[in-house]
Amino acid sequence: MSPSLPPATLPLSQRLLRLAIVLFLFFVSIEWMAESFKLFGSGLTVQLLKLTSNPFTALFVGILTTSIVQSSSATTSMVVALVAAGSLQLPLAVPIIMGANIGTSITNTLVSLAHINRSAEFRRAFAASTVHDIFNLLCILLFFPLELATGVFSRSGLWLAQGLDGMHGLALMSPLKLVIHPVAGGMITQLESILPADTWWHPHAWLSLSLAMILLFGSILFLTNILKSLALHKAETWFEDRLFRSTSRSFLIGLVLTLAVQSSSVTTSLIVPMAGAGLLSLRQIYPYTLGANIGTTITALLAALATQSPLALAIALVHTLFNAAGTVVFLPLRAVPIYLATRLADVSMRSRVIPFAYVLTVFFLIPIAFVFLLE
C-alpha cells in the first residue's frame, strides 16, 4: 500500500520538514547504493580498465565500469591515475571517458523503476530518466567516430592543458557528501561487522545493496506523494514560473546544483520523482540534465588543476569538451532525444519486464559482450 499524501491542512513548515527528511533519506539511499556496488567491483573495475586494448573496447569498458561504480567521477579518477602511471594511453582513455557518460546515467534510470506500479507516473519518470541516456548515446554516435578519425578531443585536451599549465586548482568540498557519506558508509560498516566479507559471493555487499534499494524505492514513493501534495498547493506554478521558466534557467539550475553537490547522479535522480509527480515536463527537464552533465565535469577539472599533471588535466578537459560539444549540438536539436525518450517510455508501458531488460541490456549485457568479444 502506497503512503498517503500529507494532509492539506498541515502547516507549510511541517510539509517542508517532511520533504527535507525524505530528501535526506533519498540522497543517503543513492550514496549507499553506489557504495554497495563498489563492494562488488573495486578491484574488477581497475582490471577492466587495464584490459583496454583498442578504442572500441575502451568505450564499452567505460560504460561497464561506470555502471558498476555508478559514478563518472570515480571512473575518471581511475583513468587519470592509470594514464599518469603509464598503464593507459591517452587515445584509449578518451573513449573510456565517453563511455562513462552513458554508465553514469544508470542511477536515475534505476530511480525511475520505483514508479513502475503507477502507470502514468512511471511513463513520465522513465522518459525523464532515459532522456539522459539517449542524449549520451547520441553524443557517442556522433563524436566517437569523429574522435577515431581526427583525435579532435584528445588533441584539444592536450592543447588546452598546455595552455593551463602552472595554474593551481581549487579543491571543492561537497556539503551534501559531508553529511550523507558518513551515514551510508556507517551502514556498510555495520553490515561488514556481522557478515563475512571474504567469501566469493559477497553476502555483505548483496545485503547492503538490497537494503539501499529498499530505502531508495521507499523514499521515492514518499517523495512523489509529497511533491504531488505540494502541486495541489500551487508549487507546480512556482516551478514553472520561477525555477524552470526558460531553457537557459533550467540549464543553469542543473549546472549550479551539480557544482554544489558534486554529483550529476544525485541531481539528475532528484528530478525523476518531480517528473513522476507531474511537476515538470520533459522539455523543462532536458536542459537541466544537460547543465548537470557539464557541471559534473567542472569539479573534476578543478581537481585536475590541483594535481599539476598535464595528462590528468587533459583527460578532465576532454570530459568537459565532450559534454559541452554535446550540449551545443543537441540542445537546439532537443526534439530528437525528447521524442526518442517518450517513445521508449511508451514501449516500456507494454510490460514491466521491458524497463528492467533495458537497464540490464544497455548497461551490462551489451558492454560485457563487446568487451570480451573485442578484447
What is the rounded CA–CA span in Å between residue 220 and residue 216?
6
On whether residue 99 sits in a domain, the answer given is: yes
Q: How far apart are CA 317 and CA 298, in angstroms?
A: 9
Euclidean distance between CA atoms 268 and 257, whole angstroms: 10
Q: Which residues of the chain have pLDDT under 70?
A: 1-12, 34, 37-38, 40-51, 81, 84-85, 165-177, 192-193, 195-202, 227-242, 299-300, 303-308, 375
Residue 44 lies in a domain: yes
Is residue 2 in some structural domain? Answer: no
- At a CB cut-off of 8 Å and minimum separation 6, what does 75 contact? 45, 62, 65, 66, 69, 96, 97, 100, 103, 104
> Which residue range forms the structural domain that includes residue 116?
12-374
Find, among 58, 70, 2, the residue nearest to 31 by Cα: 70
Among 313, 48, 65, 71, residue whose Cα is nearest residue 184: 71
Q: Give the number of domains in the chain.
A: 1
Residue 350 lies in a domain: yes
For residue 271, count CB atoms less than 10 angstroms from its CB and return exposed for 0-12, middle for 13-18, buried for 19 or more.
buried
Q: How many CB atoms lie under 10 A from the CB of residue 334?
A: 17
29: number of Cβ within 10 Å? 25
- pLDDT at residue 7 in the model: 47
CB 267 within 8 A of CB 257: yes
Q: How far apart are CA 362 and CA 356, in angstroms?
A: 10
> Is 77 domain-assigned?
yes
C-alpha–C-alpha distance, residues 11 and 230, integer Å: 12
With a CB cutoff of 8 Å and minimum separation 6, the contacts of 360 are none
Which residues in 108-132 are b (16+ Cβ under 10 Å) and which e?
Answer: bbbbbbbbbeeeebbbbbbbbbbbb
| pLDDT tens column, 61-87 | 889 888 887 777 777 777 776 776 677
Residues 347, 359: Cα–Cα separation, whole Å = 14
Within-domain flag for 3? no
Domain for residue 1, yes or no?
no
Distance CA 260, CA 175 (A): 8
How far apart CA 164 and CA 56 sit, in angstroms, is 30
**Length of the chain (residues):** 375
In a domain? residue 47: yes
Which value, in Å, is the radius of gyration of the alpha carbons in the chain?
20
